[in-house]
Amino acid sequence: MTEPILQVTDLVKHYPVTRGVVFQRTIGHVRAVDGVTIELKAGETLGVVGESGCGKSTLSRVLMNLEKPTSGSVKYRGKEIFGLRGAELKKMRRQIQLVMQDPYTSLNPRMTVGDLIGEPFEIHPDVAPKRDRRGKVQELLEVVGLNPEHINRYPHQFSGGQRQRIGIARALALRPEIIVCDEPVSALDVSIQAQVMNLLGRLQKDFGLAYIFIAHDLSVVRHLSDRVAVMYLGKIVETGTEDQIYERPTHPYTQALLSAVPVPDPMSRQTKKIIRLVGDVPSPVNPPSGCRFRTRCWKAQEICATQEPELIDRAEDRHPSACHFAEAREIVVSHEAGTS
């Protein structure tokens, strides 16, 4: 359990920005993912949070080998995934599956549920013999809490939550080790979110899955994650266990994010100190020098503009945080806590 099954080292993905119609010149790069190092152990959940445009979805696509990275490596069980071809690539794909964000567009509208969930078996025929497939599909429908008799229905006949369950069943079909969840609940109603989250939690227990759980909602991530990585402008600014990130965050960005989480208790809400970030996320084409967060940070000083803070353990609390002035700060987040 301690050996990491997925090792991501210095992953960089830049998209060229071109100008011109016939003769295209590259005038810059969108630094969507800019040096991300994470690792995932078997059976654990790594939450990745960050606001829109910080490179979370690009990270998921590169991890799925849907896009080639500019540099860096992703190793699955010690094997570099980007060099794989043909049968080896197919074998790797079996082990890493994807649940997409929007359940309304991620299912082919012209395929029945049976065909959608059965497709992984058709692509990887060695997983299940032909005559067992229908049974397997119905089994999967049952596992994700859908009626197995709905095998002949089309996606448009289901609600958003049910469609996301179909997506999860499809990802589950090949019994993968890792499922990359790219904001799997953000398109759903809050009440349905909880159901899908609980389903994901139960499946993890039953099948020993490891999740990379990407979301912009901190409370959603906390519910499932063992470890959390906070992303800002293509870089990871702080990582640690769920407890470290949520109870003792040291990076100002994490603190700002956490302070924005709505608190259901009106008493503690009044005493809560909200950190309001001003301005927008800087353009990833031309990120600020030094610390990328310095343009919106209240602690920023001279050194932040010149020297990029490394993601290392800071004295305050023993977990990596990329801030020169990392320090703990009391923040009200948990539903129970009410101090200020």
Partner 1 sequence: MSDPAAIGLAIDSTTAEELSAGQATPTGTGGGGSTDKPRGLLGDAWHDLRRKPMFWIAGAFILLFIVMAAFPSLFTSKDPGYAVLERSRQGPSSSAWFGYDVQGADLYARVIYGTRASLLVAVLSTVGTVVFGSLIGIIAGFRGGWPDSLLSRIADIFFGIPFLLGAIVILFTLNPPGANRSEFTVLMIVVTSLVVLSWPVSMRVMRASVLATRNADYIVAARALGASTSRIVMRHLLPNCLAPALVYSTILLGSFIGAEATLSYLGVGLKAPTQSWGIMVAESQDYLRVSPQLLLFPAAFLVVAVLSFVTMGEAVREALDPKLR
Binding site for partner 1 (CB under 8 A): 61, 64, 66, 89-90, 93-94, 97-98, 100-102, 105-112, 114-115, 119-120, 123-124, 134, 137, 149, 151-152, 154, 156, 167, 170, 174
Residue 142 backbone phi and psi in degrees, to 5: -65, -40
C-alpha distances out from residue 315 to 232, 238, 319, Å: 22, 14, 9
CB of 214 or CB of 326, closer to partner 1? 214
CB of 164 or CB of 321, closer to partner 1? 164
Strands in 4-19's sheet, in edge-to-edge order, are 25-41, 4-19, 71-76, 79-80
Please work out, in degrees rounded to the nearest 5, the angle formed at the alpha carbon of residue 31 by the alpha carbons of 94 and 16: 90
β-sheet bridge partners, residue 45: 211
CB of 116 or CB of 245, closer to partner 1? 116
Q: How far apart are CA 176 and CA 321, in angstroms?
A: 31
CB of 71 or CB of 108, closer to partner 1? 108
Q: Give me Rg for the CA atoms of the chain.
A: 21
- Tell the smallest beta-carbon distance from residue 296 to partner 1 (Å): 32
- Tell the smallest beta-carbon distance from residue 33 to partner 1 (Å): 17
**Residue 91 belongs to what H/E stretch?**
helix 86-95
CB of 107 or CB of 192, closer to partner 1? 107
- Tell the smallest beta-carbon distance from residue 54 to partner 1 (Å): 20
CB of 15 or CB of 282, closer to partner 1? 15
Select from 66, 262, 131, 70 the least CA-distant residue to 57. Answer: 66
- Tell the smallest beta-carbon distance from residue 113 to partner 1 (Å): 9
- Tell the smallest beta-carbon distance from residue 21 to partner 1 (Å): 10
- Tell the smallest beta-carbon distance from residue 294 to partner 1 (Å): 35
Count of other CB atoms within 10 angstroms of residue 334: 15
Q: How far apart are CA 52 and CA 275, in angstroms?
A: 18
Q: DSSP class of residue 207?
A: H
Q: Which residue bears the tokens 């608190």?
A: 263
